Amino acid sequence: MTATCLMTTYQPLDLGFVKGLGTRLWDQGGREYLDAVAGVAVTNVGHSHPRLVNAISEQAGLLLHTSNLYTIDWQQRLAQRLAGLSGMDRVFFSNSGAEANETALKLARLHAWHRGIEQPLVVVMENAFHGRTLGTLSASDGPAVRLGYNALPGDFIKVPFGDLQILHSIARSHGQRICAVLMEPIQGEGGVQLPPPGYLKAVRDLCKRRSWLLMLDEIQTGVGRTGQWFAFQREGIVPDVMTLAKGLGNGIPIGACLARGKAAQLFTPGSHGSTFGGNPLACRVGCTVLDIIEEQALVSNARRQGDRLLARLQEALGQHRQVVAIRGRGLMIGIELKEPIRDLALIAAREQGVLINVTRGKTIRLLPPLTIDAAEVEMIVAGVCGALAAACSAAEAKAVAV
């Protein structure tokens, strides 16, 4: 199908699906695929989960939207559940990850305002991704997403991810103007980058000492993905602000900004809002997603199958001449390649029937649903190995021909 009426923001593969169930997708021709992308860490409980299908259809027949002029029971319930799971105090609901991060950035501004900081700065990380609004884009890194938008708000100061020394020296040089640190606990779009052990804890301590808000973007890592409810829980810390989206709605748009302590008290009526945010459908879906994760013990499954997948990939590909590193946590795994390999995702789909993602040109990213079992782990390993072998031999054949 040609997409001539669509703006050219995407370069979709020549591949589309008409049906999904659990970990599987089917294309128009009826071919089955194992989904190791999950719509970029979104469909964490799998496609067409019967409990979600039921919740969505029942809620559609009852009530979709009334606005935040009125109380919304499902919104209250979801906020309470998320607060209980995370140790945060309060929640603001939006419709996407970028909006959740915009909310966090507005909290940082209010925090600065209360402290009398006139030109506040937010510390962000090199290689970060926080969204596509002008604000969140300014907090993100990389020419591909920023090129051409030169009128970006200049309220950010960028430091290398994982480098404590530079962070401390920034604190000395700009400390009076800094009001917050915004970062991903594990960088997702940046190629599944893990900080060195102890880094998050040290950032937490610094933020506390300096009265900066620690704002963790858990939009990709949250809701069970890394084998914890939230990635920060493995570090023995609690942030002041945390953002969620992707896996919380399993495909129904929802974003959430959670805050704790003073940060949870910064908004006042009228200081922020959203028409759709926190509507009964999205919040009921969020509650149902949490129910499913709890009942099917998917957080521990993500940890167990993630450990297995990482170990099996290391066994199978650790010595591969194209593989530089294999890393990840839970079911968020990256395989960094020496050089970009063209059409790798398409080759994996076409020849192996396994959907994989390639980010920043040369890192294979695996983000399967949290429901996968041991047999599916083997299918993913076989799919990645097969696709790499096919792509490498195609590239070599081409090189010989030239």
Ligand X SMILES: *Cc1c(COP(=O)(O)O)cnc(C)c1O
Is 218 annotated among the ligand-binding residues? yes
Catalytic residue among 93, 129, 161, 232: 129
- Min CB(99)–ligand X separation in Å: 7
Q: First and final CA of the chain: distance in angstroms?
A: 33
Quote the least distance from Cβ 345 to ligand X, whole Å.
Answer: 18
161 labelled as ligand-binding?
no
**Shorter beta-carbon distance to ligand X: residue 257 or 379:** 257
57 is in an annotated binding site: no
**154 labeled binding residue:** no
Instruction: Name the burial class of residue 223, with classes exposed (0-12), middle (13-18) and buried (19+) by CB atoms within 10 angstroms of its CB.
Output: buried
Pick between residue 155 and residue 184 the one whose CB is nearest to ligand X.
184
Contact call for residues 219 and 101 (beta carbons, < 8 A): yes
Active-site choice (35, 93, 246, 267):
246
Nearer of residues 218 and 376 to ligand X, judged by Cβ: 218
The 3-state secondary structure of 205-230, one letter per residue: HHHHHHCCEEEEECCCCCCCCCCCCC
By the rule CB under 6 A, 217 interacts with ligand X: yes
Site size with ligand X, rule: CB under 6 A? 15
Q: Which of 236, 237, 230, 193 is nearest to 214 (CA)?
A: 237
Q: Annotated binding residue at 132?
A: yes
Our answer to whether residue 217 is catalytic in this structure is yes
245 binds ligand X (CB under 6 A): yes
Q: Which of 86, 362, 81, 131 is nearest to 241 (CA)?
A: 86
158 carries an active-site annotation:
no
Residue 384's Cβ-count burial label (10 Å; 0-12, 13-18, 19+) is buried
x-or-dash string of contact with ligand X, 124-163, rule CB under 6 A: -----xxx--------------------------------
In the bound state with ligand X, the residue whose beta carbon lies nearer, of 97 and 135, is: 97
Residue of the chain from 188, 191, 222, 280 that contacts ligand X (CB under 6 A)? 188
> Shortest distance, CB of residue 277 to ligand X, whole angstroms?
13
Between 20 and 97, whose beta carbon lies closer to ligand X? 97
Neighbouring C-alpha atoms within 13 Å toward the C-beta of 299: 17
Cβ neighbors of 100 (< 8 A, separation 6 or more) are 94, 219, 243, 244, 245, 255, 256, 257
Residue number with the shortest CB distance to ligand X?
A: 97
Q: Which residues are within 8 A (CB) of 83 and not within 5 positions of it... i.e. 6 or more apart? A: 89, 90, 91, 258
Question: Was 98 annotated as part of a binding site?
Answer: yes
Judged by CB under 6 A, does residue 37 bind ligand X? no
> Rule CB under 6 A: is residue 189 a binding residue for ligand X?
yes
Sheet-wide strand order for 32-35: 17-21, 24-27, 32-35, 354-355
Say whether residue 277 binds ligand X (CB under 6 A). no
Does 219 interact with ligand X (rule: CB under 6 A)? yes
246 counts as catalytic: yes
DSSP state string for 33-47: EEESSHHHHT-TT-B
Cβ-based burial of 268 (10 A; exposed 0-12, middle 13-18, buried ≥19): exposed
Q: Is 224 in the site for ligand X (CB under 6 A)?
A: no
Choice among 217, 232, 240, 267 that is catalytic = 217
Cβ 187 vs Cβ 360: under 8 Å: no
Question: Is 240 known as a binding-site position?
Answer: no
CA 106/CA 368 separation, integer angstroms = 33
- Helices and strands in the chain: count of H runs, count of E runs: 12, 15
The residues in 64-103 that bind ligand X, with binding defined as CB under 6 A, are 96-98, 101
Instruction: Name the binding residues for pyridoxal 5'-phosphate.
Output: 97-98, 129, 217-220, 275
Which residues are at the interface with ligand X (CB under 6 A)?
96-98, 101, 129-131, 184, 188-189, 217, 219-220, 245-246
| Active-site residue set | 129, 217, 246
Which positions make up the binding site for N(2)-acetyl-L-ornithine?
132, 274
